[in-house]
Amino acid sequence: MELCHAVLISSFTSPELTHWTLANGVHCVAAEMPDAPLLCLDLWCRAGSASEEPGEEGMAHFLEHMVFKGSERLGAGEFDRAIEALGGSSNAATGFDDVHFHVLIPPDQASVALELLLDLVLNPSLAEKTFDLERDVVLEEIAQYEDQPDEQVLQQTLSRACPQHAYGRPILGRPESLKAMTPASMRRFHQQRYRGSDCCLAVSGCGVDGLKQSIETSPLAALPAATARSSHSGLELCPGRHHIQVERLESARLLMVWSGAAAADQCWVVGADLATTLLGEGRRSRLVARLREELQIAETVDMDLTSLERGSLITLEISCNPTHLEAVETCIQEQLTTAELFTPMEIERGRQLVGKGLRYSLESSAQVASMAASHRLWGREQNLLHPLTHLRSWSSERLQAELMQQLHPDRACTLIATPGSRH
Amino acid sequence: MPLPVLKRIPLRTPGVMAAKLLLPWGSACDAPGERGSHQLLAACLSRGCGPLDPLQLADLVEGRGAGLRSDAHEDGLLVSLRCTVEDVDDLLPLLGWMITAPQLPPDQLELERSLSLQALQRQREDPFQIGIDSWRKLVYGTSGYGHDPLGVQTDLENLAPERLRELSHRLPRGPAVLVMAGCWPDQLNGDLKQLQGFERWPATQSTEQPPEPLLDWCPQKDSTIVTTAMDTEQVVLTLGQACCSHSHDDDLALRLLQSHLGSGMSSLLFQRLREEHGVAYDVGAYLSARAGAAPFLLYASSSAERAELALTLLLDSWCELSERELTSAELDLARAKYRGQMAHASQTASQRAERSAQLHGLGLPDDHDQRCLSRLETLTSRQLLVAAGRWLNQPRLSLCGPAPTLRRLESVWERRQSGGVSSSSS
The residue among A340, A246, A332 whose CA lies nearest residue A297 is A332
Is residue A17's pLDDT more than 90? yes
ipTM of the complex as predicted: 0.93
Give the model's pLDDT for residue A73.
94
Chain A nearest CA to B302, separation (Å): 7
- A133 and B277 in contact by Cβ < 8 A? yes
Q: What is the pLDDT of residues B285-318, one digit of tens each?
A: 999 999 999 999 999 999 999 999 999 999 999 9
Contacts of B274 in chain A (CB under 8 A): 137
Q: Is residue B351 scored above 70 in pLDDT?
A: yes
What angle separates helix A344-361 from helix A365-377, to the nearest 10 degrees?
A: 100
Sign, CA torsion B219/B220/B224/B226? negative
| Residue of A2, A3, A4, A5 best to disrupt the B interface, most CBs of B under 10 A | A5
Tally of structural domains, chain B: 2
What single-letter amino acid sits at B163? R
Best residue in A2, A7, A8, A253 for a mutation probing chain B (most B CBs within 10 Å)? A8
Contact A242, A160 (CB under 8 A): yes
pLDDT value, residue A5: 40
Q: Which CATH architecture has domain A240-419?
A: 2-Layer Sandwich (3.30)
pLDDT bracket for residue A8 (50, 70, 90): very low
The answer to whether residue B309 neighbours chain A at the CB level (below 8 Å) is: no
What is the value of pTM for the model shown?
0.95
Three-state secondary structure call for residue A250: coil
Within the 312-331 window of chain B, which residues sit less than 8 Å (CB to CB) from chain A?
none
Where do you find CATH 3.30.830.10 in chain A?
Answer: 13-222, 240-419
Interatomic CA distance for residues A391 and A409, integer angstroms: 25
The reported pLDDT for the residue numbered A10 is 40
Band the pLDDT of B187: cuts 50, 70, 90.
confident
d(CA A305, CA B264): 31
**pLDDT tier, A423 (very low <50, low <70, confident <90, very high otherwise):** low
Residues B231 and B115 in one domain: no
Query: Residue B385 domain-assigned?
Result: yes
Which of B266, B273, B327, B331 best probes binding to A when mutated, by most A CB atoms within 10 angstroms?
Answer: B266
Disruptive mutation site among B7, B62, B276 for chain A (greatest number of A CBs within 10 Å):
B62
Do B239 and B102 sit in the same domain of this protein? no
In this structure, the answer to whether residues B261 and B165 fall within a common structural domain is no
Report the C-alpha gap between A90 and B173 in whole angstroms: 44
Q: In this model, does residue A11 exceed pLDDT 50?
A: no
- Please check whether residue A283 touches B, CB under 8 A: yes
Give every CB contact of residue A373 below 8 A, 6+ residues apart in sequence: A29, A42, A43, A44, A100, A200, A201, A202
Q: Is B301 on the interface with A (CB under 8 A)?
A: yes
The yes-or-no verdict on residue B425 having pLDDT over 60 is: no
B340 contacts A89? CB cut-off 8 A? yes
Residues of B in contact with A7 (CB under 8 A): 12
Specify if B200 maps to a domain.
no
Of the listed ranges A11-20, A168-177, B146-155, the one predicted with least confidence: A11-20
Render pLDDT for B218-264 as a digit per residue (tens, 0 to 9): 777 678 999 999 999 999 999 999 999 999 999 999 999 999 999 99
Closest chain A residue to the Cα of B329, Cα to Cα: A85
Residues B255 and B307 in one domain: yes
Name the pLDDT band for A234 (thresholds 50, 70, 90): confident
Q: Which residues contact B66 (CB under 8 A, 6 or more apart)?
A: A356, B81, B82, B83, B84, B87, B91
Contact call for A3 and B12, based on CB within 8 A: yes
Q: Are residues B102 and B152 in the same domain?
A: yes
pLDDT at res. B421: 60
Residue B129 located in a structural domain: yes
When CB atoms are compared, the residue of B12, B66, B275 closest to A8 is: B12
- Strand A413-419 with A240-246, pairing: parallel
Specify if B370 maps to a domain. Answer: yes
Residue B264 has its nearest CB partner, among A84, A141, A285, at A84
Is B14 within 8 Å of A68 when comparing Cβ atoms?
no
Q: What is the residue range of B329's domain? A: 225-418
Considering only the beta carbons, identify the residue of B13, B336, B344 that sits closest to A363: B13
- Residue at B388 is within a domain: yes
The answer to whether residues B138 and B189 belong to one domain is yes
Does residue B204 sit within a domain?
no
Cα radius of gyration (chain A) = 23
> In the listed set B194, B216, B249, which residue is the last one of a domain according to the structure?
B194
Task: Tell me which of B194, B211, B238 is where a domain ends.
Answer: B194
Angle of the A78-85 helix axis to the A110-122 helix axis, nearest 10: 160
- CB atoms A150 and B125 under 8 Å: yes
The CA distance from B280 to the nearest CA of chain A, in Å, is 6
- Which residue does chain A place closest to B14, by CA atoms? A12
CATH number reported for the structural domain that contains residue B56 in this entry = 3.30.830.10
* DSSP letter, residue B193: G
Same domain, B40 and B102: yes
Residues B151 and B270 in one domain: no
Q: For A207, which DSSP code?
A: T
| Candidates B233, B261, B339, B352, partner chain A, best to mutate (most A CBs within 10 A) | B233
Residues A18-27 have a mean pLDDT of 97
B339: nearest CA partner in chain A: A87
Percent of chain A past pLDDT 70, that is, above it, reads: 96
Residues of B in contact with A70 (CB under 8 A): none
| C-alpha torsion angle, residues B272, B273, B275, B276 (rounded to 10) | 60
Q: How does pLDDT run across A351-389, given as a tens digit for each residue?
A: 999 999 999 999 999 999 999 999 999 999 999 999 999
Per-residue pLDDT reduced to its tens digit, B38-94: 999 999 999 999 999 999 999 999 999 999 999 999 999 999 999 999 999 999 999
Q: Which of A151, A147, A169 is nearest to A159 (CA)?
A: A169
Average pLDDT across chain B, whole number: 94
**Helix residue ranges per DSSP H, A236-340:** 266-280, 286-287, 325-337
Q: Write the pLDDT tens digit of every residue in A194-217.
A: 999 999 999 999 999 999 999 999
Set of chain B residues whose Cβ sits within 8 Å of the Cβ of A178: none
Q: What is the mean pLDDT of residues B140-154?
A: 95
B354, B346 in Cβ contact below 8 A? no
CA distance B32 to B39: 15
Nearest CA-CA partner of B134 in B368, B299, B320, B364: B299
Query: With a CB-CB cutoff of 8 Å, which residues 136-175 of chain B face chain A?
Result: none
Which residue spans within A169-287 are E strands per DSSP?
199-205, 240-246, 252-259
**Phi, psi of B179, rounded to the nearest 5 degrees:** -115, 130
Contact B340, A88 (CB under 8 A): yes
Q: Which helix (H) or strand (E) holds A317?
A: strand A313-320
Q: Is the pLDDT of residue A4 over 50?
A: no
Closest CA to B251 of B300, B219, B291, B299: B291
Fold of A13-222: Cytochrome Bc1 Complex; Chain A, domain 1 (3.30.830)
Q: How far is B113 from chain A (nearest CA, A)?
A: 11
Q: What is the pLDDT of residues B256-281, one digit of tens each?
A: 999 999 999 999 999 999 999 999 99
CB distance B344–A89 less than 8 Å? yes
Contact yes or no for A333/A254 (Cβ under 8 A): no
For residue B210, pLDDT beyond 90: no
Distance of CA B179 to the CA centre of its chain: 19
pLDDT at B218: 75
The string of DSSP letters for B293-356 reads S-EEEEEEEEEGGGHHHHHHHHHHHHHHTTTSPPPHHHHHHHHHHHHHHHHHTTSSHHHHHHHH
Each residue's pLDDT tens digit, A262-315: 999 999 999 999 999 999 999 999 999 999 999 999 999 999 999 999 999 999
Cα separations (Å) of B112 from A174, A297, A300, B37, B56?
40, 13, 12, 11, 18
Q: Distance between CA A394 and CA A373 in Å, rounded?
A: 26
Q: What is the mean pLDDT of residues A25-54?
A: 96
**Do B250 and B398 belong to one domain?**
yes
A-chain CB neighbours of B89 within 8 Å are none
Contact B224, B38 (CB under 8 A): no
The confidence score (pLDDT) of residue B15 equals: 92
Asked if A284's CB is within 8 angstroms of B121's CB, the reply is: no
Question: How many CB atoms are located within 10 Å of the residue A101 CB?
Answer: 20
